[in-house]
Amino acid sequence: MDTHDFIARFAGIYEHSPWVAERVAPIAEQLDDTAQLAALMVDCVDNADTEKQLALIRAHPDLAGKAQLAGELTADSTAEQSSAGLDQCSKVEYERFQALNEAYKEKFGFPFVMAVRGSSRAEILDAFSARLQNDYDLEFETALAEIHQIARLRLAAMESDE
């Protein structure tokens, strides 16, 4: 696969951040191993400057947020949020998600990010509340770790679709 095809295929692994695929393409385009590709992408993000990492975190949508209701999520985000039942929130759950989204962004300056596939709404809400107690540095690192998990799950889903 050439660089252009590689970027086209893997640009969406990190939400609205094709720069990750662009940076790893020259060394990853010949890889057949998903775990090696994931490790290269993680290394790329982890070695990016803080502003690039913050932009990556901010590229993620709110969970059970207005973008979801408006149908504005990427296909991957839609599938991930739906797998956790976030498209089936009761009015009370939706209001709780909105309040937590706002409190979280107010405190940290970026959206709450969690690899929600396989989690329940209650588990997500509990994690949301617990992580609101973190300090900025811990939460920044936690958000990046969650983003890497999302990327690994997306890569695995691509591999299983082949």
* 60 is known as an active-site residue: yes
User: What tokens appear for 114 in the block?
Assistant: 């969690």
Residue 33's SS3 state is coil
The angle formed by the CA atoms of residues 59, 65 and 68, to the nearest 5 degrees, is 85
The one catalytic residue among 4, 16, 60, 148: 60
Active site residues: 60
